[in-house]
Amino acid sequence: MLPLVLLAACSIDPETTLETVHLTEQTVIDAFDAHDVQGIMRSYADDAVVITAGAEPQVGSAAIRAAFEKTLADPGLTMEFTPGPAWAGKSGELAVTTGTTRYTTRAEDGEPHVVTMNNQTVWHKATDTKSRVAGLGWKIVSVYNIAQDAAAGS
């Protein structure tokens, strides 16, 4: 019976976990809106992976940083994020968020170009002291993106 009591004591409320993950998620959104690549990258694990349908995977912080630098070089880029369902493990170590992101840029002819993506982000609780001291309790370990048009066709 004692092992069960000890195991129960290790359980963390998933809703509390999600609250902190959503706060971290908002810092990423705010950094994106400010075109702040460094601010975005603070929330990515060094070995994170970003997969976008139709593109090469970005593996590791250098590749992800380069992709954000290219994307955010467009001064007219805007983003609207709508959160979707999210869940967290009882261990308090892992969480998954989903959402829909609408990106708007200007085409060469000046007309708006809109791409809407469905995404899923996997978060892991940061274990390194530097991140924890800086208040970065969660790190993105993977992001999966698919354009809504592509999602409808599959």
pLDDT attached to residue 7? 47
Q: Which of 118, 126, 103, 127 is nearest to 21 (CA)?
A: 126
**For range 18-45, the mean pLDDT:** 95
Residue spans per domain, the chain:
2-153
Q: pLDDT per residue over 71-83, tens digit each?
A: 999 888 999 999 9
What percent of the chain is modeled with pLDDT above 90? 64
Fold of 2-153: Nuclear Transport Factor 2; Chain: A, (3.10.450)
- H helix or E strand, kind and range, residue 76: none
Q: How far apart are the first and last CA of the chain?
A: 49
Q: pLDDT per residue over 86-124, tens digit each?
A: 999 998 899 999 999 999 988 788 888 899 999 999 999
In the predicted model, is pLDDT for residue 125 greater than 50?
A: yes
For residue 123, give every residue at least 6 positions away whose Cβ sits within 8 Å of its Cβ, in sequence order, or none.
21, 24, 94, 95, 96, 97, 138, 139, 140, 141
pLDDT attached to residue 111? 85
pLDDT attached to residue 112? 86
